[in-house]
Each structure stands twice: as structure tokens, then as C-alpha cells.
Amino acid sequence: MERPEVIVNVASSLDGAIASSEGALILSTTEDWVRVHELRNSVDAILVGVNTILKDDPLLSVRQIKPREPAPLRTILDTSCRIPLTAKVLQDQERLPSIIVTSKESSASKQDEIRKLGAKVVSVEFEKNKRYLNLADVLKILKTQFGINKLLVEGGSTVITQFLTNRLVDIMHIFYAPVFVGGKNAKLLFEQEAIHNIGDAINCEIQTVNKLHEGYLVTLKLKKDE
Ligand SMILES: NC(=O)c1ccc[n+]([C@@H]2O[C@H](COP(=O)([O-])OP(=O)(O)OC[C@H]3O[C@@H](n4cnc5c(N)ncnc54)[C@H](OP(=O)(O)O)[C@@H]3O)[C@@H](O)[C@H]2O)c1
């Protein structure tokens, strides 16, 4: 394959919210967190969008279980290099390496400051009318320059939506917490404009549905276009 295998993992409310407009919602249970850390330990890289860093400042490391070495490469999609130099993912680079994927137009001095912390910075072409970094280019770089064969995409809404609409997802795990939180202004699992014809939907095959403590874990295989 020209690109890494792409696995999406996300925790959602029953009504499809993955965060509030303010930031994280605690939707995963302790059991689910152990599963997520096992999943992180099984991949070569973990990817999130810069808004997840700005809102939650996650470490994106393997905890709860014995981490394998080398640690998965923490990958941040950051068009304009908005990541703060104090972000947790930019610390401890010897042990927990990170790569910031940005556009060629982003500040060269900010890119240098990130490199000084030991993180890698790569820039990809960015077509302004397309709004986001080209994911096919990002995946190709991850595979060819960094040897990433298995990528875990953890969010947030915008990143998952872009991976789904570009048909770049192979497997998706959704942990449904048994709660309704309200969708108005929430960050949704899939933020695409609503379709009017079911023929235009993104089709999945359900692989497994398992009760996990108080919630449900649904594993989906994304169907490829015919
Ligand atoms: N429940 C869960 O499992 C879970 C997991 C992770 C995150 N979250 C939540 O998700 C929320 C953040 O989600 P979000 O939708 O605001 O932001 P996001 O998906 O974390 O980040 C989106 C940003 O990434 C940059 N980006 C660059 N190229 C991109 C591309 N090709 N596709 C998508 N994004 C690209 C863009 O930055 P620019 O705007 O600068 O271009 C874009 O605005 C947080 O509140 C967090 O708590 C929930």
C-alpha cells in the first residue's frame, strides 16, 4: 500500500458528540482507556489535529501498560504552526518523539523553534481553496520518510471528518458511552454537511460490537468505493 493502514479511535456519546464546544468530555471509562493504550502500543504513529492540542494538551503516550520501544511517533496536523512551544507533545523528545506537519507557508522561525525542542517539522503543499493540508501527501510522507505502516488517528472532529470524507480510513473503533449530551454546538464524530440521498453515505461493515464495562465498543471496516 502507498499509505499506512489507518485506524481511527474515538469515544462518543450516544448522540454522536465527542467533545463540548469548550473542550474534552470525559467519555471513556477506565477499561476503555486501557484498550486505547494497548491500541497506541500496537501502532507506529498517533495523529491528532492542532485544536486537540490547544484544547486538551494531551501527552499521547502509552501509559497504563508496559510501553514498547520505540514509542509511537506523535503526529500533529498544524497548518499554521499554532502549537504552543509548551505543549506536552513537544517535551521529552528523546523518549517520545513528535512530528509537526505544517504548510510551506507557515512561519519559518516558529518551525525552527519547534525543531530546537527536538521535534521534527515537515511541510506539505497546501491549497488554500481546499482549506486543510492534503492528507494523501501527509500519509505518503509518513510512510516513505518515517516508515509508518500503521497509523492511529485519535481526533478531533475535523481530522476524523477529513479522513472519512477522503476515504482514507480502514478500521474505526467507536466507544459509545451510555450518555446523551446534546449536539447543539458540540463537536461531533462526523461534521460533514448532511447528505440528502442515502446513496451518498459513507458505508461501513460492522466487524464487532462488544459491551465494555458501561459502554459499547463498535468496530467498523470502511467500505471502499466500487
Ligand atoms: N472523544 C474523543 O475521542 C476525542 C479525541 C480527540 C479529540 N477530541 C476533541 O476534539 C476537539 C477538537 O476537535 P476539532 O475538530 O476542533 O479540531 P482537531 O480535529 O483536533 O484539529 C483540526 C485542525 O487541524 C488542522 N489541520 C490541518 N490539516 C488538516 C486536515 N487535513 N484535516 C483536518 N484538520 C487539519 C487545522 O488547523 P488550522 O485551522 O490551523 O488549519 C484544523 O482546524 C477537542 O475538544 C478534543 O477534546 C475528542
Q: Assess if residue 56 is contained within a domain.
A: yes
pTM above 0.75, yes or no: yes
Residue 224 forms part of a structural domain: no
| pLDDT for position 67 | 92
Write out residues with Cβ below 6 Å of ligand 1.
10-11, 18-19, 23-24, 27, 48-52, 55-56, 77, 79-80, 82, 132-133, 135, 154-159, 162, 187
For the chain, the domain total comes to 1
Domain that residue 63 falls in: 5-193+202-215
Tell me the average pLDDT across 16-26.
93
103 is a domain residue: yes
Give 178-188 pLDDT, tens digit per residue. Answer: 999 998 899 99
Helix, strand and coil content of the chain, in percent to the nearest 5, comes to: 25, 30, 45
Check if the beta carbon of residue 147 is closer than 8 Å to that of residue 72. no
Q: Has residue 9 been placed in a domain?
A: yes
Cβ-based neighbours of 141, under 8 Å, separated by 6 or more? 101, 122, 124
Residue 225 within any structural domain of the chain: no
- Show the cell assigned to 200: 451518498
Q: Has residue 226 been placed in a domain?
A: no
Instruction: List the CATH number of the domain containing 74.
Output: 3.40.430.10
Tell me if 57 is assigned to some domain.
yes
* Number of the ligand 1 atom closest to the C-alpha atom of 49: 21
pLDDT tens for each residue of 135-144: 999 999 999 9
In a domain, 96, yes or no: yes
State the Cα–Cα distance between residues 211 and 25, nearest whole angstrom: 20
What are the pLDDT digits (tens) for 91-118? 999 999 999 999 999 999 999 999 999 9
